[in-house]
Amino acid sequence: MNFAHRVLRPGDVLTACDNMLAVPTGFLGHSAIAVGPDEIVEAVVTFPYVRRAPAAEFFMQHPKHAHYRPIPDWLAAGSAQYAITYHQACQANYAKGIIVPPFSFSPAIPLEDPWSSIYCSKLVWLCYYYGAGYPLYNDYFLFTPEDLDSVLGSDPHFALVYKHPEFHFKINT
């Protein structure tokens, strides 16, 4: 599929079953939230940990992904605005030499804590939780890209826009 023709809407969620680490496909994954027609906010393992990036990079690096769209306008607008504001706050911290939030998968840090640690799917969760007042269901201690696919795939407030035919997770995290 040619991803250059897909236009994102603010609040759209991208979740992939692969990652840029050496973890095999289907075990870890990656996710991001759209803030414009061709731009995402994501948390990555390299500095700056929270960044705005072209969606084309996500599509190129993660062809095996799913794309979900929030249906209510309030859900889309609130989550995307939080992503923008959160990114700006992170950049302001980085500019002052304050590395907050650090990238970490620590299960000791509550999911609701936006500043003690960040990872990709936690970022998406925070955007919906704080930006739209909509907590996405979490079945275990970390909220993972697999959780995004499971939750959004059964939530009537979201529509599946695209799912790669080989997109799948091997474990329920």
DSSP string, 58-124: HHHH--SEEEEEESSHHHHHHHHHHHHHHHHHHHHHHHTT---SPB---TTS-TT-SSS-B-HHHHH
- What pLDDT is recorded for position 171? 74
Q: What is the mean pLDDT of residues 20-26?
A: 58
In the chain, what percentage of residues exceed pLDDT 70?
91
Least confident of 24-33, 64-73, 122-131: 24-33
Residue 24: partners with Cβ closer than 8 Å, 6 or more residues away: none
Confidence of residue 141 (pLDDT cuts 50, 70, 90): confident
Is the model's pLDDT at 26 over the cut of 90?
no
Task: Supply angle C-alpha 54, 43, 95, rounded to 5.
Answer: 90
Q: What is the pLDDT of residue 36?
A: 97
Judged against a pLDDT cut of 60, whether residue 15 lies above it is answered with: yes
Does an H or E element contain 50, and which? strand 50-54
pLDDT digits (tens, 9 = 90+) for 150-164: 999 999 999 999 999
Q: Check residue 145 and give its pLDDT.
A: 94
What domains, with CATH codes, occur in the chain?
12-163 (3.90.1720)
**pLDDT tens sequence across 33-42:** 999 999 999 9
